[in-house]
Chains A and B, each alone.
Chain A
């Protein structure tokens, strides 16, 4: 083709088989987020508790005087609980616009006119939020466990608390899945990312306030299932082999979490479509 010919020409190269488009969506979403300086700052800030804990483990394993700071299984539970705040902020920052912005720009019909299924689109969007949430929960928690082994120079702690690795993994995944699915479902309900963020925060605080009010009236924590955050706390306590802090049976809390995820999937199934049929 002559260099000056800027006309249309046919493509003779290779094409990927359908099924991998979700990775394209996920990478594009991740790249878009990490280009934002504010978000990078937030991610760095989210790792501050990790640094504090790392110093704590270092001191405890290297200085007799700091034995008081020696980590226990509960230390890792506390660390994940500290990360709740960052999970909340990252969920809103990353997740609110994931589908809402696409709905505002009518991008769904562009996406779904390509060789990808609705499930792939959802998986791609989910992967964006999922990745960043794991980056502030599972990754630093497992790294802390590794640091403990490295600083102590022995596997004694790990052997004594073998359950910690699966506990951290399962607890983080549960927290991340719940946040990702609920946020994505809310994002599919509106064309405004700001509204979605407010809605997510509202639901989180409203359910917590409801439980607090009922607790204040009845004096019983058996209604912790009313709060999304408390339900998660209850289940994660059980995963870390700690005494659950509320009177609600942990199975009920688990059902609340699973119910929310199923509800979110159902919303996504209804809302992520190439056309919205108004009858």
Chain B
């Protein structure tokens, strides 16, 4: 199932500021989330969760305007919350209930009749992979299962928009992959709009088509991931022997962008379009001029990590 590219945004923020004490958690944030799967990316403390909580009406911005599904958050919080599902970052459940009761209860809270809520609860629990454990008390669940049940309670009323706050937190690799598959399926095959907040670049890259990169309470970059990553083949993985700092300065002097990744591997962004291996030759020439030996040079596909590093100015 696809989402029309020209459709109205599901979420729009105009000049939104949220202040906690003296700290600007969101600082004049303007962002537009189109229908589909949207990533909200940024390091811890960037303001991702605050943005979701402001959209849910948990925190009131001191400035700005927010709309969700075409409705003003300040004017229609209940109508909005009836159409969205929220998977919180921290462990959250209703105490003393088994999984199916909990999810059905959430469905009823969202306005579903009791019988429908119970039926949906069973279906959604099977969908998230908790079908066999649905009569167990939620408090006995493992971390991974708790993440799944949080997704189930967010889905039970069939929301038009899902807010997923760090959905893979604390999950083992297999569980994490399964959760990401579920999210990808929801966003790409089931027609559920979703905003995935995460500091994990691979999670966002795997599940989302577009991204808003947050840093220090501001939007650092936004747009379709494919566009943000730029054309393939313009990034190189490079390892050298010799004086590194001088070489990096030389690369930067030539208009290239350098980000360190592992201990001795750097990623070099080459601007422009030099056909026929001109980029590689330029790097070799610079290395020769700086007296550095190129030990490893490999064209690389730009990842979201590059976009992120570029957006937040990491080195």
Contacts and interface: CB of A to CB of B under 8 A. Distances in A.
A115 B106 CA distance: 10
B26 to A, nearest CB: 13
A106 B120 CA distance: 23
Contact of B82 (A7, A9, A14, A115): A115
Interface size class of A (residues with CB under 8 A): 35 or more
Nearest to A116: B109
Interface residues of B, number: 50
Given A115-B79, A116-B78, A279-B20, A15 B92 contact: no
A117 interface: yes
A275 B109 contact: no
Contact of A109 (B79, B82, B86, B110): B86
Contacts of B191: 10
A17 interface: yes
Interface centre among A104, A106, A115, A116 (most CB of B within 10 A): A115
Given A13-B116, A16-B113, A109 B108 contact: no
A270 to B, nearest CB: 14
A44 B20 CA distance: 50
A11 to B, nearest CB: 4
A32 interface: yes
Interface string B83-97: 011101011111110
B158 interface: yes
Interface stretch (B123-131, B171-179, B207-215): B123-131
Interface of B: 20-23, 53, 56-59, 78-79, 81-82, 84-86, 88, 90-96, 105-106, 108-113, 116, 120, 123-124, 126-127, 131, 139, 153-155, 157-158, 185-186, 190-192
Given A10-B190, A11-B116, A105-B92, 9 more contacts: A8-B124, A11-B158, A18-B78, A18-B79, A32-B96, A105-B91, A105-B95, A110-B106, A117-B78
Minimum-distance CB pairs A-B, first 10? A279-B21, A274-B58, A11-B158, A113-B86, A115-B82, A106-B92, A15-B111, A6-B126, A114-B109, A16-B111
23 contacts: A6-B126, A8-B155, A8-B190, A9-B123, A15-B110, A18-B78, A18-B79, A18-B111, A105-B93, A106-B91, A106-B92, A107-B92, A109-B92, A110-B92, A113-B86, A113-B88, A114-B109, A115-B78, A117-B78, A274-B57, A274-B58, A279-B21, A279-B23
